[in-house]
């Protein structure tokens, strides 16, 4: 404002041949003021503009001599379009504020009176903005040329006002001023990059980081580029995309991969350029003629479709594809550890499934929490994972159970229908249901687990944490099958001879101390017998049955269920058997005081457990 008043003050002392008032005026009705004349001519936007600068109306009115080149409303409307402004206030903002508006308006005012008949063919005037304006006169036309070389035409001249003259022109004149560049957000908005703006806003603090950066070059994907990325990731919207790439942290990494912390207009580019982005990873930018291409680490490419959009702290190049950095998603084991699923990790390790899961092309893992495993241990009467493995029948069945939690395909929660049937890597079917209340999983027994934490993205799929261990159909052997598998052929022959097969198979719960073939051989040798049949002949079937029954406890007792030290347990022979557990070692002592060791413990069977022993225990005979 000081600059403007300086020119106005100085101009009051300028006396030239142009400063005289019209000789036609002989007194009487006064001429209108500038504002009155502008209003009469319908130049309402000009009036609003003058009044937008405090004191400007009075300052112009106080001048003794002025020539005003007054833009029409239509000229101002074109200026709004040119500067992409919504209204006069927005135009002031786009011009750089009130100071620049003052300069623009002052550029339309010459501190002297110049009627059209006083103009030469070519005239140069210093305006009250301190910048020169060129006015040309040709037969029937007067033109005004601004600092940028734009030409305006006088559409109505010689409107006399009380302190000078007004010439109406069809264009707003622009002086030499520093037009502020848009911010990244403004440029993206102007370019219609709405999805990019939404993505940037979704990362807390990222807009301020980019706006306050000293120098940046942004390779900005179009909405269509984002839409294509959604299709690749089978995501319906940006929120689903964020989930599938591993969360907001990875979204920030993706967006940062499109930003170089330096200014690089297309003219600054060499044929091949390697830039380290703000995500810390490198992109390659190549230029061939007018074509600029961006390539990421794994060879995806995108072309620049709108280059060199200057912003306040750098430049934006719009590209037709999304660039993806290495997102460094965790593998399934890392994700499980990060989620505190330590029991699951131990189980996977015990089942030797780590490599299988890590190397699978695509998996969805329904991962039981530690609390879920604790509940499973309690249900099976196991104190730890090793005991659970024993009770379910060994590592093979553990593999089946864990495999029942893994689907060989990627299924984020957003990919699920209301009801889904998945064949797991265990070869059995799992039912997954999605409703407004969440996602549930139903196992082969009808047990229902709830997904408590969904959509943990991993390198080759996704993990959903559940609150229950899922149980497939798995098989435990009968006592006969277990004995056959252990090659206890003499025991099997004895059981058959004694007619105990059905008794053992149909018992609700049994623990069998099963002698090895060598144990029977040792017994026969000690009795000077050569075959099982001779033993049967000598003792009789009834006593052989009693001997065999002395090896069977009518309850299930895995080795870890036994108390420490000596204990007497009932048998099917009706006589108590002495069992001793010392640490992991179990021994049995018969009626004659002979003690034998369990050489293979905890072979789970359908209705109990088998412990293989190295001797035949004898009851009282």
374 vs 342: CA distance, rounded Å: 12
pLDDT tens column, 47-85: 999 998 888 899 898 899 999 999 999 999 999 998 888
Cβ burial of 609 (10 Å; 0-12, 13-18, 19+) is buried
pLDDT tens column, 451-470: 999 999 999 999 999 999 99
Predicted pLDDT of residue 356: 93
Q: How far is CA 488 from CA 249, 416, 523, in A?
A: 60, 51, 15
User: 576 forms bridges with which residues in the sheet?
Assistant: none
Pick among 2.30.180.10, 1.20.120.530, 3.40.50.1980, 2.60.40.1170: CATH of 332-466: 2.30.180.10
Predicted pLDDT of residue 608: 96
Predicted pLDDT of residue 6: 36
CATH topology of domain 479-613: FAS1 domain (2.30.180)
The dihedral of CA 259, 260, 262, 264: what is its sign? negative
pTM of the model: 0.73
Predicted pLDDT of residue 85: 85
The secondary structure of 157-210 as a DSSP string is EEEEETTEEEEEESS----S--PPPPPHHHHHHHTT-HHHHHHHHHSTTHHHHH
Predicted pLDDT of residue 498: 92
DSSP-assigned letter for residue 21? P
CATH topology of domain 2-169: FAS1 domain (2.30.180)
Cβ burial of 314 (10 Å; 0-12, 13-18, 19+) is buried
Predicted pLDDT of residue 95: 85
575 vs 403: CA distance, rounded Å: 44
What CATH number belongs to 184-319?
Answer: 2.30.180.10
The dihedral of CA 269, 273, 277, 283: what is its sign? positive
Contact 210, 259 (CB under 8 A): yes
133 vs 144: CA distance, rounded Å: 7
pLDDT tens column, 472-524: 999 999 999 999 999 999 999 999 999 999 999 999 999 999 999 999 999 99
Q: Which of 454, 457, 350 is nearest to 401 (CA)?
A: 350
17 vs 14: CA distance, rounded Å: 10
DSSP-assigned letter for residue 563? P
Instruction: Give the chain's residues under pLDDT 50.
Output: 1-27
Structure tokens at 36: 């009155």
The secondary structure of 497-547 as a DSSP string is HHT-HHHHHH-SSEEEEEE-HHHHHHHHHHTT--SHHHHHHHH-HHHHHHH
DSSP-assigned letter for residue 488? -
Structural domain spans, the chain: 2-169, 184-319, 332-466, 479-613
DSSP-assigned letter for residue 610? E
First-to-final CA distance of the chain: 124
Contact 456, 335 (CB under 8 A): yes
């Amino acid at each position: 404002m000081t600059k403007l008043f300086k020119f106005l003050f100085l101009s009051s002392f300028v006396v030239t041949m142009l400063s005289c008032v019209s000789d036609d005026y002989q007194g009487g009705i006064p001429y209108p003021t500038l504002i009155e004349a502008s209003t009469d001519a319908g130049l309402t936007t000009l009036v609003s503009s003058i009044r937008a600068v405090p004191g400007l109306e009075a300052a112009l009115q106080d001048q003794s001599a002025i020539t005003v080149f007054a833009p029409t409303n239509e000229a101002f409307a074109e200026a709004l379009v040119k500067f992409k402004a919504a209204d006069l206030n927005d135009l002031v903002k786009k011009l750089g504020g009130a100071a620049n508006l003052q300069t623009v308006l002052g550029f339309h005012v010459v501190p002297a009176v110049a009627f059209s008949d006083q103009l030469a063919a070519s005239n140069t005037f210093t305006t009250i903005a301190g910048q020169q304006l060129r006015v040309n006169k040709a037969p029937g036309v007067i033109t005004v040329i601004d600092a940028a070389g734009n030409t305006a035409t006088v559409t109505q001249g010689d409107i006399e006002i009380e302190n000078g003259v007004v010439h109406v022109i069809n264009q707003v004149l622009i002086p030499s001023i520093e037009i502020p560049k848009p911010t990244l957000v403004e440029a993206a908005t102007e370019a219609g990059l709405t999805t990019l703006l939404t993505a940037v806003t979704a990362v807390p603090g990222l807009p301020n980081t980019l706006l306050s950066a000293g120098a940046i070059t942004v390779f900005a994907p179009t909405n269509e580029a984002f839409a294509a990325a959604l299709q690749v990731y089978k995501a319906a919207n940006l929120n689903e995309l964020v989930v599938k790439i591993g969360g907001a942290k990875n979204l920030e990494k993706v967006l940062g991969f499109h930003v170089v912390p330096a200014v690089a207009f297309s003219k600054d580019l060499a044929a091949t350029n390697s830039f380290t982005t703000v995500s810390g990873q490198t992109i390659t930018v190549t230029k061939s003629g007018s074509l600029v291409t961006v390539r990421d680490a794994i060879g995806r490419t995108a072309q620049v479709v709108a280059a060199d959009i200057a912003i306040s702290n750098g430049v934006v190049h719009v590209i037709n594809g999304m660039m993806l950095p290495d997102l460094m998603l965790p593998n399934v084991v890392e994700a499980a550890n990060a989620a505190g699923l330590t029991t699951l990790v131990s189980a996977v390790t015990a089942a030797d499934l780590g490599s299988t899961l890590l190397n699978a092309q695509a998996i969805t893992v329904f991962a039981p929490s530690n609390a879920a495993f604790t509940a499973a241990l309690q249900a099976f009467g196991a104190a730890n994972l090793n005991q659970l493995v024993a009770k379910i029948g060994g590592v093979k069945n553990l593999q089946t159970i864990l495999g029942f939690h893994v689907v060989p395909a990627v299924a984020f929660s957003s990919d699920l229908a209301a009801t889904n049937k998945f064949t797991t890597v265990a070869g059995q079917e799992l039912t997954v249901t999605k409703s407004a209340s969440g996602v549930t999983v139903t196992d082969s027994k009808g047990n229902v687990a709830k997904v408590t934490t969904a959509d943990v993205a991993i390198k080759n799929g996704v993990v959903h944490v559940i609150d229950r261990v899922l149980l497939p159909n798995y098989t435990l052997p009968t006592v006969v099958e277990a004995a056959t598998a252990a090659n206890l052929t003499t025991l099997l022959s004895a059981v058959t001879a004694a007619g105990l097969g059905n008794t053992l198979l149909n018992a609700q719960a049994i623990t069998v101390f099963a002698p090895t073939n060598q144990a029977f051989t040792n017994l026969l040798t000690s009795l000077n017998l050569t075959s099982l049949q001779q033993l049967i002949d000598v003792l009789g079937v009834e006593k052989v049955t009693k001997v065999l029954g002395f090896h069977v406890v009518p309850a299930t007792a895995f080795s870890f269920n036994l108390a420490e030290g000596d204990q007497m347990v009932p048998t099917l022979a009706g006589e108590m058997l002495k069992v001793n557990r010392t640490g992991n070692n179990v021994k049995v002592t018969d009626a004659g005081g002979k003690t034998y060791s369990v050489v293979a413990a905890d072979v789970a069977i359908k209705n109990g457990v088998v412990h293989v022993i190295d001797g035949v225990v004898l009851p009282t005979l």
